[in-house]
Structure 1
Amino acid sequence: MQEVSFRLDGKIAFVTGGGRGIGKALALGLAQAGADVIVVANTKDEVTVAAREIAEMTGRNTLALCCDVSDPAKIETAVNQAMERFGHIDILINNAGIGFVKSVMDVTAEEWSHVMDTNLRSALLLSQRIGRQMIERGWGRIVNVASVSAGLTFGMLNAYGPSKAGLVNLTQMLGNDLGRHGVTVNSISPWFIKTAMTEEALKTEEFREFSTTRTPIGRIGNPEDLVAPVLFFCSESSGYVTGQNLFVDGGATTFGM
């Protein structure tokens, strides 16, 4: 009988949006579980500090890569640099994401495209590029960070919700295509999490009250709340789970009248 374990010793993980917030927490959690981590973000200073701190805290090997994942050429360069350093990638965390508050009737084509390119197209391109070498090695784990907004309508989030809905569907499609090769693909959908992206909104009493009263657990989530679910999806013990979307939302999506 196989021992149940969430350890990732000897694995190499590639985490986008890893310079802060959810991505940094996930990168740290993967390193604490034994993985060497490639931390990818669009801000050089931020990603450099994050990778150094994770290495100091865990003793794992880390690599900081500055990359705008909305740019296919930069994605290719980043993956090549990671492969040159580590030789292969076992785990891909597609976490990079952006959003802004604006009516869907007012969002421009350029704004829409930028959100889609960052949140959705990057996940496709990285999954294709890294997934091919996972197929060659017969093992891999891809975890996409989606959102409850993939299935719930929040006014003024315009392109963000559709991009995350697409990410959940992409998870299912990739899970179907890659499963026979030993590669699983799953996603998590958080509710509101305390990050730089939600910091301004959480400063308002009205928004804090809305977020907490609609959450059965009764509090706003922290980035660390997402680590254990991701570790499960990345581990050997989740080998029979693919194409799934897990709500990590304090029960918010079950909230009744």
Structure 2
Amino acid sequence: MEGYEVVNVNFDLNGKVAIVTGASRGIGRTIAEGLAQAGADVALTARTEAEVLAAAHEISLATGRRALGIACDVTDKRSVDSAVQQVVERFGKIDILVNNAGTNIRHSAFELSEEEWDFVVDTNLKSVFLMSQAAGSHMIERQSGRIVNIASVASELTLSFSTAYGPSKAAVVQLTKQLASEWARYGVTVNAVSPWFIRTSLNAEALDDPDNQKMIEQRTPMGRYGRLEEVVAPVLFFCSEGAGYVTGQNLFVDGGVTHYGV
């Protein structure tokens, strides 16, 4: 039809290079594998060298993409800068950063020590800043990049059993917005994905506990916990060229729990 414009939407990650933190297992590993399946070469970081090297090797075999495992303490600037430099030296560039590394200590306010507070906040928040700063400088230099931060529904809702986790994730969302505003002019987008309970091999036993199942079923409009692929898909979207005009957003992957009414 005359005057009709054909629009091509590109979600292909072929030729892209991605870093995923906390990627030796669980959600991080699945995200790394999903990025590789979409065509990206991936660098995985985690504290335990043996685990992250094994994960990288298995992902490379499964997907045919190049995968690099790096032992890295994402709360330490020297370790972060070294890891990012290794990725640049190995792959020549950085297109995507997924800040997935995180932790939780299930203590209430009077049970939580100062050291435990610092550990949770450093792992969940400081790591996002350090990794974004290090990888973002390369992205800004190239005038292109995608950063995705894994936050949590606890950025919006309070948790009765964990005082430090929610505030640290709320700060991740605010940092997402701040960096999105600062770096949009350089072609770098920064977004967040906030999951509810997601079943992994690490938490399957806990989620299968009858009390936990009952709580999730009653609290979640969809009546179930999430699946790994339901987190990976939004991450892939934010990493793609198709999301080029989306920045500073926090997408809840929660079965409707953050909009639950009475």
Q: Displacement of 1:201 after TM fit?
A: 3.3
Give yes or no for the alignment of 1:220 onto 2:202.
no
Q: In structure 1, the residue corresponding to 2:199 is in which secondary structure?
A: coil
Q: Measure, in 2, the Cα distance between the counterparts of 1:43 and 1:226.
A: 24
The farther-off stretch of 188-197 and 6-15 is 188-197
Q: Measure, in 1, the Cα distance between the counterparts of 2:74 and 2:111.
A: 25
Q: Measure, in 2, the Cα distance between the counterparts of 1:255 and 1:49.
A: 40
Q: Which residue matches 1:47?
A: 52
Q: Measure, in 2, the Cα distance between the counterparts of 1:57 and 1:199.
A: 24
Q: Which residue matches 2:147?
A: 142
Give yes or no for the alignment of 1:178 onto 2:180.
no
Deviations 1:36-72 (A, max 9, x none): 0001111222211211111111100000011121222
Structure with max Cα Rg: 2
Q: Measure, in 1, the Cα distance between the counterparts of 2:144 and 2:134.
A: 15
Deviations 1:86-129 (A, max 9, x none): 12110000000000111122211111111111110110011111
- Corresponding residue to 1:94 among 99, 118, 122: 99
| Closer, same or farther: CA 167–197 of 1 in aligned 2, 3 Å | farther
Q: Which residue matches 1:234?
A: 239
8 Å CA contact 1:70–1:114 kept in 2: the answer is no
> Where in structure 2 are the equivalents of 1:162-201 lying within 5 Å?
162-195=167-200, 198-199=203-204, 201=206
Q: Which residue matches 1:75?
A: 80
8 Å CA contact 1:40–1:47 kept in 2: the answer is yes
Q: In structure 2, the residue corresponding to 1:185 is in which secondary structure?
A: strand
Q: Measure, in 2, the Cα distance between the counterparts of 1:62 and 1:91.
A: 14
TM-score w.r.t. structure 2 length? 0.95
The farther-off stretch of 169-178 and 247-256 is 247-256
The amino acid that maps onto 2:163 is: N
8 Å CA contact 1:22–1:224 kept in 2: the answer is no
Q: Can you give the 5+ residue segments of structure 2 that lack an aligned partner in the other structure?
A: 1-5
Q: In structure 2, the residue corresponding to 1:7 is in which secondary structure?
A: coil
Q: In structure 2, the residue corresponding to 1:65 is in which secondary structure?
A: strand
Deviations 1:160-193 (A, max 9, x none): 1111000000000000001011000000000011
Give yes or no for the alignment of 1:205 onto 2:210.
yes
8 Å CA contact 1:141–1:184 kept in 2: the answer is yes
Computed over aligned residues only, the root mean square deviation of the Cα atoms, in angstroms, reads: 1.3
Q: Measure, in 1, the Cα distance between the counterparts of 2:45 and 2:173.
A: 22
Q: Measure, in 1, the Cα distance between the counterparts of 2:81 and 2:110.
A: 34
- Corresponding residue to 1:158 among 137, 160, 163: 163
The amino acid that maps onto 1:206 is: D
% identical equivalent positions: 54
Q: Displacement of 1:211 after TM fit?
A: 1.1
Deviations 1:218-252 (A, max 9, x none): 22112221111011100001111100000011111
Deviations 1:124-154 (A, max 9, x none): 0111111111011011000000000011011
Q: Which residue matches 2:21?
A: 16
Q: In structure 2, the residue corresponding to 1:188 is in which secondary structure?
A: strand
Q: Displacement of 1:199 after TM fit?
A: 4.1
Q: Which residue matches 1:25?
A: 30
| Closer, same or farther: CA 34–50 of 1 in aligned 2, 3 Å | same
Q: In structure 1, the residue corresponding to 2:44 is in which secondary structure?
A: strand
* Count of paired positions: 257
